[in-house]
Amino acid sequence: MDKWLLLTEPINGNHPRSALGLDATGKELIMVTVDGRHDSYKGLNGNSLAQLMLELGSTNAMILDGGGSTTMALRELGNTDVKVVNHPSDGNERRIINSLVVESNGKTNVLEGLIVDEDNDTVMKKTPFRLSVKGYDTGYYPMVIDQQAVKYRVVKGKATVKNGEIIPSKEGPLIIEIEYKGEKVQKELTVIGTPVAIELAVDKYQLKLDESLDLDIIGIDAKGFRASIDIENVRFLDTKGLGSVKDGVYKSTTKAGTTYLKAKYNGLESFVPLGIGSQNVPIGTFEKYTNTFISYPSTVGGTVSLVNEGKENKRSLQLNYDLRGTDGTAAAYISLGTNGVTIPSEAHGLNLWIKSATVNPHWIKAKIVDADGKVYLTNIQKGVDWTGWKQITADLPYDMAYPAKIERIYVVETEDSNKASGSMWIDGLSF
């Protein structure tokens, strides 16, 4: 039988949505967020959202503030931290003052179950690893687990277990049973070959002084299959002594420069280049460049001008733009003179003061061209979550050939529903 939809008012357009619903008993609360303005999903209008709430079992539902405010965060079983699990359309969490929080009745400290906190289900032959076991009580609060009291048993496959360290001896399926205070849980794993190469993986190559960087070591077997290797079994060397590694985290010192971080495991090596600190070489005022406005597509409107409203200098560059009325990607560019701004050869990052009149989801990027003519479209900021002036620091591509130049700084938007007009001021570019 078809179910009737009764909306108190029309809700048009496909956008991110937040909603609450109650089932027929009135005892089950259904909390829903729908992503939108994003590659994964475009969002819903009111009718589609109401239909979704019906399909999820709601007989009564209400819509909450959506758009960039649509955010869902949760604390997973066994964890103490809360994390955002959807994709806010602004690219980050919006500053809002209201939220709906669901909390259990309180801690009971009576063990209810175990969670094996291991994201990677693939391990390597003859390569030791550990499983992190977490617990939760009958009130669904996390409980501290005595890891020394956890027992392990091989249910399927071949592996040895000693003091919580597991070493597989055969490729194929591996099932480990974990027991703690009478509660049991099983972990299914796949064992690949022994590593013939390793890869030191980092998420950035430029660090500030006294900054931390998480490290990950990936093992690669003879067939090209990959799996993480326990960081405790890896030795590290900073060739210039600009930092040190402890518990899988690299920490830079207060000394600037460039270095190589090397990782060694069972005769295998990998390294990454790292830039520490910044020379803080200012380019001076933008007045010495012939700055012009360029748009894509040509229907994007805008202007570029020098104005008496600087942050570090007397004058700054103001970009006025209007991205509306276009399909697909739209961008408004500041072209920095005929030859662009030269990047010092020892630079690893750039600093830029940016003033915005409004909060918006647009990305700010730079077009960089190196000595070989290779073009890098470098992210400066993913979404503007402030108004007024703010200094932004961004990494430069680590593999550029020098001399390199910044030719353009620009605002870009790919989602039609996000396109707007606005203004941006820039000043104090340094490296």
What's the confidence (pLDDT) of residue 97? 80
Direct distance between the N- and C-terminal alpha carbons of the chain, in angstroms, rounded to an integer: 66
Same domain? For 422 and 341 the reply is: yes
Same domain? For 407 and 345 the reply is: yes
Same domain? For 152 and 58 the reply is: no
Phi and psi torsions of 227, nearest 5°: -155, 150
Name 310's bridge partners: none
Q: Is residue 197 part of a domain?
A: no
Band (pLDDT 50/70/90 cuts) for residue 356 is very high
Q: Is residue 281 part of a domain?
A: no
Same domain? For 244 and 353 the reply is: no
Same domain? For 6 and 132 the reply is: no
Band (pLDDT 50/70/90 cuts) for residue 417 is confident
Same domain? For 318 and 425 the reply is: yes
What's the confidence (pLDDT) of residue 105? 81
Residue 117 has pLDDT above 80, yes or no: no
Residues near 228 by Cβ (< 8 Å), separated by ≥ 6? 120, 216, 217, 218, 219
Say how far apart CA 267 and CA 262 lie, in whole Å: 12
Q: How many domains does the chain have?
A: 4
* Under 8 Å between Cβ of 209 and 253: yes
Q: Please indicate whether residue 7 or residue 197 has the higher confidence score (pLDDT).
A: 197
Residues near 345 by Cβ (< 8 Å), separated by ≥ 6? 402, 403
Same domain? For 8 and 83 the reply is: yes
Say how far apart CA 154 and CA 230 lie, in whole Å: 19
74, 102, 130 - which closes a domain: 102
CA distance to 12, 31, 47, per residue, from 19 (Å):
15, 6, 13
Mean of pLDDT over the chain: 90
Domain region containing 371: 286-430
Looking at residues 355-379, what average pLDDT do you find? 93
34-79 per-position pLDDT tens digit: 998 876 688 999 889 999 999 999 999 999 988 888 999 998 888 8
What's the confidence (pLDDT) of residue 63? 92
What's the confidence (pLDDT) of residue 1? 35
249, 276, 303 - which closes a domain: 276
Name 430's bridge partners: 282, 351
Same domain? For 244 and 340 the reply is: no
294-336 per-position pLDDT tens digit: 999 999 999 999 999 899 999 999 999 999 988 889 999 999 9
Same domain? For 60 and 152 the reply is: no
Q: Please indicate whether residue 137 or residue 338 has the higher confidence score (pLDDT).
A: 137
* Under 8 Å between Cβ of 135 and 115: yes
* Under 8 Å between Cβ of 216 and 199: no
192, 220, 235 - which closes a domain: 192
Q: What percent of the chain has pLDDT over 90?
A: 64
203-262 per-position pLDDT tens digit: 888 887 888 999 999 999 999 999 999 999 999 999 999 999 999 999 999 887 889 999
Same domain? For 209 and 156 the reply is: no
Same domain? For 293 and 397 the reply is: yes
Looking at residues 377-404, what average pLDDT do you find? 89
Residue 102 has pLDDT above 70, yes or no: yes
* CATH code (residue 229): 2.60.40
